Every structure is written in structure tokens, then in C-alpha cells.
Structure 1
Amino acid sequence: MIRRLMLFNLLTVVLAVVLDQVIKAVVVATMPLGSAIEILPFLALFHARNTGIAFSMFADLGDVGLSLLAAAVLVVVLFMWWKTPAERRLTHFGLAVIVGGAIGNLIDRTRLGYVVDYVYFHTPAFDFAVFNLADAFITVGAAIILLDEFVLAGAGRKGAAERRGD
């Protein structure tokens, strides 16, 4: 069981990294920097460069500083992943998705000195930050972990407590 879980998690990481890098390569090859393709009234592809982290935070740390910060966060997530019990499969999946997204952005940061972003949500009254698939993987992975921890595992703990008569 542990071996299958590890293989599934590894494949999830590799798939996330490959999808992220392929889509970024297509955006760079087919869209000039700063160009946009409207898909829906609130959604566009917009070729941008992010020299910071999420929402361009910490851009003043520079390439090396941001790469080291991203690598440190990745090490912490990998440690959490290692310590997560095997029966918490949903949490393992969430962590695998986060690791895949983090590696995808770290590849950009170390290879290019910035991260390629391209998803742009907007309305006439509101502009959301431009992001990429790796960012979405990280966000969705975190949501999956929270769901597993506070809703699914929490319900399991509550049910076990009720069966014990606590």
C-alpha cells in the first residue's frame, strides 16, 4: 500500500510539473510579453512575468533570495509530507499537488529569473492578479489539505469520539 501511494504521489508531482512547464512554454512561444487573448468576459490569457512570489510579493529579494525562499518552503512541505500518515491519502494528494506546483515555479525562477504567469481573471470593477497553473496547483493542494484536516478527518474524529462515548 505504501509503495503504491508513493508511486501515485510521485506521478502526481511529475504530471503537475510537466503540465505547468508545457503550458508556460506554449505561452512564451506563442504570445508576446504583455499580450492578452480574451476567452470569456472575465477571463483572459495574459503573458506576464512575475519577479516576486504570489501577487508579486517579495520581488525585492532578487532571484537568488526568492529561489532560496521557495526551496526552503519546499523542504518544509516535503517534511510535512514525510510525516503524514499513509492513511491520510487525500492529504498526501494535496501535498503532491503543492510540491508539483512549487517545483514548476522554482524551475522558472532558477532558469529564467522570473515566473511565467498567464491566467487573468477580471471584471470592469475588479482585477485579480495574473497567475499560472503551478499557482493553482499550490492553492488547490492547500484547500484539499484543509478539507481533509478540518472536514473529513474532523468528522472521523468526532464519529470515533461518539462511538467511545466521549
Structure 2
Amino acid sequence: MRLFNETGWRFWWIALLVLVADQLSKIWVLQNFTLGESIQLLPVFNFTYARNYGAAFSFLGDAGGWQRWLFTAIAIVVTCVLSVWLSRLQRSQLKLSLALVLIVAGAIGNLIDRSLYGYVVDFLHVYYQQWHYPIFNIADCAITIGAGLLIWDSFSSEDEPAQTRTN
């Protein structure tokens, strides 16, 4: 029980929630959109079905297929390493625990896509006039938020007691 109550593993429910939201949203897109189809929701935001055969920003997306296995292996290794790290965190390390859980959830979400389809299903499309951000998904959001929390955690310490001013 200590593993789940006193370590970063106590937040696995968040990973499960993110993973379910990610996979359900991708299934919905696959069932309701044709490749390249787009629906405008806001003047700067569309649902646009795209396939990403590469990594972030389609890095190595046209490499011929071997990248699928490379990114699958990387996702498995990252998930294993971060899972062990989570099991060693103290209960007080909230930001770091949340960061790692979100990164793991995102990595698993995109790993499932690569395993099932050979590509990652993307559909969140942010743009302004002629500028278009690369299309992404909920797993990518989780990884980005997790990375942001990881950076934030590296610049702060939750273990330090609150300091009071003495003027």
C-alpha cells in the first residue's frame, strides 16, 4: 500500500483519466472525420484530423517507417523510467509527481496510437491568419503541461519551509 499512498504513484488516477480522454477523443475523430477534414470551432481553433508519423512537430515524419519503432521504443523506455522515478518520490513532491504522471500518460497515449495505427492521431489545430501551429492532441497537451511542471519544479523546492519576512 505504501507504493500507492506515499509516493508519486498515488496520482495514477490522473494518468488514467488523461489516457481515457485522449483515446476516446481520438476514436471519435477517427469515426467522424476523414483525413484532412476540418471543422472551425473558434476563429483561431479548429478540429482538423491529421496523422503524425514522426515525433513532435512531425520530426522524422517522412523517414520511411523505421521512426515508428524508434519512437515506440523511446515511449516504452520513458514510461518505465518515469514510473520507477514516481515510485521513489516522497508524498510531499506534488509538482514533480504530477509532472511525471502527465508525461507518462501522454507517452502511453501516443504509444497506443503508434502501436495500433502506425501514426499518432492529431486533431487540435490552433492558428492565426496565415500562421498555423502544428496540429496536436490531448496526449501532447499532457506531455507539454508535464514538461512545464517539471521545469517549474526544477526551479522551486516544495521541501523548503515557507520563509517569513523579518523587517
Q: Same fold (TM over 0.5)?
A: yes
Q: What is the total number of aligned residue pairs between the two structures?
A: 161
- Looking at structure 2, the residues matched to 38 and 121 of structure 1 have their Cα atoms a distance apart, in angstroms, of 10
Say whether residues 1:125 and 2:130 are aligned partners.
yes
Name the TM-score, length of structure 2 as normaliser: 0.84
- Looking at structure 2, the residues matched to 157 and 78 of structure 1 have their Cα atoms a distance apart, in angstroms, of 28
Question: Is the 2:82–2:100 Cα contact (8 Å) retained in structure 1?
Answer: yes
> Offset of 1:157 from its aligned partner?
7.1
In structure 2, the partner of 1:143 is: 148
> Offset of 1:98 from its aligned partner?
1.2
- Looking at structure 2, the residues matched to 118 and 91 of structure 1 have their Cα atoms a distance apart, in angstroms, of 28
For 1:111, which of 116, 121, 126 is the aligned residue? 116
Name the TM-score, length of structure 1 as normaliser: 0.85
For 2:74, which of 69, 77, 102 is the aligned residue? 69
Q: Percent identity?
A: 30
Residue 135 to residue 56, structure 1, CA distance change in 2 (3 Å): same
> Offset of 1:109 from its aligned partner?
0.5
**Residue segments in structure 2 that go unaligned for 5+ positions in a row:** none
More helix by share: 1
Deviations 1:85-133 (A, max 9, x none): 3210121112111111111110001111000000011111311100000
2:85 maps to amino acid: M
1:91 maps to amino acid: L
- Looking at structure 1, the residues matched to 110 and 158 of structure 2 have their Cα atoms a distance apart, in angstroms, of 32
In structure 2, the partner of 1:156 is: 160
Question: Is the 1:58–1:66 Cα contact (8 Å) retained in structure 2?
Answer: no
Residue 62 to residue 148, structure 1, CA distance change in 2 (3 Å): closer
Say whether residues 1:58 and 2:60 are aligned partners.
yes
**Residue segments in structure 1 that go unaligned for 5+ positions in a row:** none
